[in-house]
Amino acid sequence: MPSFQHILFPVDFSQQNGGIAPYVAYIARRYRARVTMLHVLEIPSAGYPGWPAHAALIDFQAMIDDRRQRTESFLKTEFQEIATTRVMDEGDPARQIVAYAEKEKVDLIMMPTHGYGPFRRFLLGSVTAKLLHDVKCPVWTSAHAPNIPAQPAGYRNVLCAVDLTPNSVPLVQWASGFVREHGARLKLVHAIPSAEPQSTFDIEGGRFRAFLSDVAREELAKVQKQAGTDLDAVLRAGDVAQVVREAAEVEDADLVVIGRGVMHELFGRMRTHVYSVIREAPCPVISV
């Protein structure tokens, strides 16, 4: 169940970092959690491709001192009433963030997705992608859009995307606990695989799609029984990310909760679609 006591907020001093600061502060206040603001300075080695010929002239100590000072002053006003630790480290950003999260028993990582621009909106930042793959704690990511997100007004409508594997049971229970803590409404969403209607006349195809829909409803009922829930659900045929995005838009969702655990089986497609769901979601996503 959600119990955020230690939130890790990786920072690179970007506009996107500043944009999600109110969301980090909101969760920290809501759970009375402490926040660690972590900046990792990546200094390439001499063998790094593109290593400049004038590297010997670079004052790395001055660079380190500058980053440490920026870490201490970044978003000072926004976090002045929150217990905040500021850490500046050196190394590979993703690797250092993962190591810090494990060592310090972080409960939640909150960060923007990055990857903005005409073409980069289709890509997650490399650090974000690495964290989603390697960390064990939940990861909150902002809506993958070029604009600065609106100020958080709490969580009212939450969607939980399920793949109907056994891992869906603890996921639904986690999401249920989260919405209870926030007084929000929770609805499940599932994309039925291989059930997209064809443009041609296809009686057998229609029967097969109806069969898949019936199976999905039966499996979802089993998940809810095991999870101890009786929630409304959206079941639609189509691509996972598209179904989740459309459901989030219709339900005016403030948050989408997804799992990161399953990579195979007929209905176990959510892990392979985590990146696309985050890219397409019109609201923040917590991946558990």
pLDDT of residue 270: 46
- Check whether 35 has a pLDDT greater than 80: yes
Same domain, 69 and 181: no
Q: Is residue 273 part of a domain?
A: yes
Residues ≥6 apart with Cβ < 8 Å to 263: 271, 272
Last residue of a domain, one of 82, 111, 141: 141
User: If 0-12 CB within 10 Å is exposed, 13-18 middle and 19+ buried, where does residue 14 land?
Assistant: exposed
CA 81 to chain centre: 26
pLDDT band for position 122 (50/70/90)? very low
pLDDT band for position 283 (50/70/90)? very high
141-to-4, 16, 162, 222 alpha-carbon distances in Å: 16, 11, 18, 30
> Given strand 233-237, what is the order of strands in its sheet?
84-90, 34-41, 6-10, 108-111, 139-141, 285-287, 255-258, 157-161, 185-192, 233-237
Same domain, 102 and 212: no
Q: What is the mean pLDDT of residues 154-183?
A: 94
Q: What is the mean pLDDT of residues 42-48?
A: 61
Same domain, 39 and 122: yes
Same domain, 12 and 137: yes
Q: Is residue 151 part of a domain?
A: no
Q: Is residue 264 part of a domain?
A: yes
Q: Is residue 197 part of a domain?
A: yes
Last residue of a domain, one of 141, 171, 197: 141
Alpha-helical (H) ranges within 193-273 are 203-227, 240-250
Same domain, 64 and 128: yes
Same domain, 42 and 109: yes
Q: Is residue 148 part of a domain?
A: no
pTM: 0.85
Same domain, 128 and 161: no
53-93 pLDDT per residue, tens:
555 556 778 889 999 999 999 999 999 999 999 999 999 89
For residues 16 and 269, the model is more confident at 16
CB atoms within 10 A of CB 95: 14
Same domain, 128 and 210: no
Tokens of 44: 């390439």
Q: Which helix (H) or strand (E) holds 24?
A: helix 15-31
Same domain, 259 and 136: no
Q: Give CA–CA dist 61/219, Å, rounded.
A: 59
- Check whether 276 has a pLDDT greater than 80: yes
Alpha-helical (H) ranges within 121-273 are 126-134, 168-182, 203-227, 240-250
pLDDT of residue 275: 86
Q: Give CA–CA dist 194/211, Å, rounded.
A: 11
Same domain, 103 and 172: no
pLDDT of residue 169: 96
**Domain range spanning residue 123?**
6-141
Which DSSP category does 5 fall into? Answer: S
Q: Is residue 241 part of a domain?
A: yes
pLDDT of residue 141: 93
- Check whether 133 has a pLDDT greater than 90: no
Q: Give CA–CA dist 232/214, Å, rounded.
A: 16
Same domain, 161 and 136: no
- Check whether 220 has a pLDDT greater than 70: yes
pLDDT of residue 259: 93
Which DSSP category does 113 fall into? Answer: -
Torsion of CA 68, 71, 77, 80, to 10 degrees: -90
pLDDT band for position 200 (50/70/90)? low
Same domain, 206 and 100: no
pLDDT of residue 183: 94
CB atoms within 10 A of CB 82: 15
- CATH code where residue 14 lies: 3.40.50.620
pLDDT band for position 149 (50/70/90)? low
Question: Between the ranges 119-133, 186-200, 215-229, where is the mean pLDDT highest?
Answer: 215-229
Q: What is the mean pLDDT of residues 91-118?
A: 86
For residue 219, the one-letter residue type is E
Last residue of a domain, one of 141, 174, 206: 141
- Check whether 255 has a pLDDT greater than 70: yes
Q: Is residue 112 part of a domain?
A: yes
For residues 162 and 58, the model is more confident at 162
Q: Is residue 109 part of a domain?
A: yes
Domain count, the chain: 2
- Mean pLDDT, all residues of the chain: 84
Q: Poorest-confidence range of 11-20, 88-97, 187-196, 240-249?
A: 187-196
For residues 113 and 172, the model is more confident at 172
